[in-house]
Every structure is written in C-alpha cells, then in structure tokens.
Structure 1
Amino acid sequence: MSVGQFCNRDTVILRKADAIVEAAKLMREFHVGSAVVVEDSAEGAKPVGIVTDRDLVVEILAAELDPGSVTVGDIMSYELLTAREDDGLWETLQRMRLKGVRRIPVVNPQGVLAGILTSDDLLEILAGELTELVKIIGKEQEREQRTRGGLG
C-alpha cells in the first residue's frame, strides 16, 4: 500500500506572506487542523512548511501577539518531513512516529505537493483493516459450523 493511494488530495495551502488570520479562516472553512505552506516553482507548488491550529494557539494566542503583525512564514514549521506518493504506508507511519509528526505532506516525483496524509487518515485505514480481520473470524466460525456441525 502506498501513501499516494490514501493521502487526501484536497490540501489547504498557504504561502509564507499570508496573514495568520487568513490561515485560521481557511482551517475553519475546510475543517482541518493544518495547512501546507508552499512556494511556487515552474513545476508547481512545492511544500516548504506546515502551519497547524496548535501553532496558532501556542505561537500567537499564548504569546499574546497581535495576529495582524505575524505572517504564516513567522510561525510555520521549517523542518518539514514529506513523503513521496510511492512510499510505503507503513514505512511512512514509522517515519512520522520517529519525528513525532501527525501530518505529512505528500509530493510527486518533481517535489510538487500532491496531498497530505494525517494520523486521522491512518487511524481510519487501520480501523478498516481491523474490521476485515474481525470478519475473517466470523467467516471461519461459520465455515466450521457448516463442516463440523454445531455443538449440542
């Protein structure tokens, strides 16, 4: 299973010069906890950072800064971990765990933003896989009853 199969292709993007208030409004409008910060290149929008709702709280509100005086570039995370579309899902999960990140922008072979994979997405995938495992147990029990008969 590859990251490209499961990433969300509808990614909220911002640029470094964007206002913090704009970031908050976009996150609210699209019901997301983060936005990928991109720089435009000839190939397309390349991710350079990420801003989360936590960044807004910790860096702006808790510090009692005037949101109008701060840009996305001032608070975005610069140590950006990305995944390629063809990276394995489980390997990417391990990289996320090692770096302690809950969101990872996904890029195409040219480094252009293709989507985002979040811990919520991974939980949904895992829940689906666990449901399938539970169905196996039920089917096995049905098969055994048919072939061996019931007890009693």
Structure 2
Amino acid sequence: MAGKIPKTAVGNMVRREPIRLKPATSLGDVVAAMKTQERGAAIVEDDNGRPVGIVTEHDFRAKLDHGSLDWHSHTVDTIMNKNPKTIRSSQFLHEALALMISCKFRHVPVINDNDYVINILSIRDIIIYMAKLYPQEFLNQPPDPHTESSGRYGG
C-alpha cells in the first residue's frame, strides 16, 4: 500500500441504492427505513430528484429534541443538513476523503453529471474497499501466528 490511495473514481465504489426521502417524511419513517436498510444516512430530495438535504444518525443524536414525546411525527426537514456538499461520481477517492476529513463528514452524497444522487459514500464503504484492495495490510496478522508479543500494548 505504501501510503498511496488508488486513483479510483468514487462512482466505481457505489454499493447500493441510497434511501431517498422527501422533506415532509416523518422522522419515525426515517428511523424505520435507516434501521431496516442498515444505513447511517439518507438523502432528502425535492420533487425533481435533486438533493436538498442529507440526514444522518448523527443528526438524530445532535439535533433531535429527545424530551419531545412526539418526535417521530416531526419531519426530516427539521433536522437535515440543508444543501449538502456533494462529490461527483467521476472524482477520485482521495478527493472524497479530503472532503470528508476537512468537513468532518462520515457520509457524502455522490452525484452524477446531471446532479442526481446515485449513492451516499460512507467512511465504512471506504474502509471496506481499502480492506479488499489491501487485505494483507488490513488483516494485520503476524508473519507467524504462533509468535506472541514480547511487550505490553495499551494501558
């Protein structure tokens, strides 16, 4: 691996169709969809299919009034990140990582040339991709599995 991130277009890393929501979708429906589909984020689109927001599991922790008994009936547009930053499917993985690091994102919408969201790239997607690309480095097995550590690690 030698510290190099491959020149892989983000569009080639697309794993599955994103959860697509309308701004008026209830938070209860959002939670149900994210749980059922095992996703950490969903895209919020206008009637033309253009992204107007993204909602992540972080938004539920940070922006939701947990004291409210009727939170599930509120709409996603009350907690979503409006006008999300996106990355084009033709851009490279290192560009996506730079955006995610500089903005402290764990999810970023991937758009095509017509500005439609085709996926939401997650940090998990990147780790899985890199682990498959560089299995030796990610498996982190000792050369001899019977060798024991000579020093203490951790505290």
TM-score in terms of structure 1 length: 0.78
Aligned partner of residue 11 in structure 1, secondary structure: coil
Aligned partner of residue 134 in structure 2, secondary structure: helix
Counterpart residue identity of residue 56, structure 1 = F
Residue 40 of structure 1 is matched in structure 2 by: 47
Alignment deviations for residues 68-102 of structure 1 (CA, whole Å, 9 cap, x no partner) = 45210010011511111101111111111101101
Residue 16 of structure 2 is matched in structure 1 by: 9
Higher helix share: 1
Q: CA RMSD in A?
A: 1.8
How many residues matched?
A: 130
Give the Cα separation in 2 of the matches to 1:129 and 1:77: 32
5+ residue gaps, structure 1, are: 135-152
1:94 pairs, out of 88, 98, 114, with 98
5+ residue gaps, structure 2, are: 1-7, 139-155
Residue 53 of structure 1 is matched in structure 2 by: 57
Q: Structure 1 runs of 4+ off > 6 angstroms?
A: none
Shift in alpha-carbon separation, 1:133–1:34, aligned structure 2, 3 A: closer
Alignment deviations for residues 110-138 of structure 1 (CA, whole Å, 9 cap, x no partner) = 1011111100001111212322669xxxx
Larger radius of gyration: 1
Deviation of 1:16 after TM superposition, in Å, equals: 0.6
Deviation of 1:59 after TM superposition, in Å, equals: 2.2
Deviation of 1:40 after TM superposition, in Å, equals: 2.4
